[in-house]
Chains A and B, each alone.
Chain A
């Protein structure tokens, strides 16, 4: 089947018009939800297609992390639909979503501090019954620093290395979609570049990535697509370059 034919296949549960080419991995349509009674997300629309890095930017409290938690079943979704790989997953429990090929690196508390690097990675592969050797080697190849210190407690590592452990853990299940919530927050420029580099390599290897970033300019520079969220709503969307070139976006959200 040609890619043209794939693109023309009607997607199950997906009424959204397809704006970008490629097979959709994640489609969020009009997603509403929050922690208590009030809706933090007031109708979010987003799409990640195959082998794409999609970057979410927006001010503090915009609901970026909340959108990721909504995908991952960590808060009550009151309306809209979340389709991953052709299946509606809104309302699923996290462990079912993991099995469906989505892995998530939260913004905070994203490692097991009292466990070694190696054990953190093993926990990432908890759902895999078989041999995890290949996945381990793959993660250790991506993050050589981790291999050296595999028996060190994760809680004793530097910020950059912790972030690598967190990403490594999420990669152990070979997900088709990876959610990264501010993986470079608080890191030195050197580590930030390294994390971005690995993110691009993962995309080039076939993974789809949804990335929340405060370092918006750097991230949009290599993003295939970007969304600007504010106050629980979509504000802007476009390719990374389009958003960088947009005057309003630059003034309001990228610090001029």
Chain B
């Protein structure tokens, strides 16, 4: 059951360069029909035909969930990454046809919350753009704290501060403005939920501080977009399909399996949803685990791997696929 089972053919209708790093892409359905509605925090997986390689990258939907005419995503250029974002920035133009998955939400609002406290870092602002629109329609109680590197790189800052001057707080790193987390968390009414999306360091910081202050785990929600990182090539034996495959420097293990026609389920392709969890039958070498799904002891056990983001270095790896 892969997210890939249900797909939508789209045409790029607009491309807006927001700043040096971030560009917004807008899509219409190629068949002229309406998009499905979605819930704030949902992402879509984009198929990119990059030469011989098909890349599948997840991006948060940031348009108004009620707007069925257009889907929007914002992509931050990652010069060190494996090229998904570079492909979007360099190879895609208005009128191009692409394929999106149906929306999937792994970062949804807890609608029981008496207050939604949002904390964003950099490109982590995107899911909140949709959540804020959803909450505005429902007259929800929310507050956003958004840290950016500089004014020049503050995507959507103007839009947010002009529409919600009282609920949006911006912090610029280069002006030495930082979120005073301890004070922010102290004194929040019972029933407040925290949502954090941004770099791993920020997520760990917020989760750690909240736990220290006695916040329940269930009241802290986070989404970190892990892009698969490049790494040394390695070889894998797939026991069920009886194949030996090579994972290249620039592709993930999941992508290599797909390239070889081995079906592995997925939803997020970012180490969060657990769909692609795969049993290890044997190995000689070391795992580079990068997912949020497996527990620490599972990482240490050498019995499981999440092929969407994790890699391997060593002599042999045999998987139950």
Do A and B interact with each other, yes or no? Answer: no
A residues contacting B by CB (< 8 A) are none
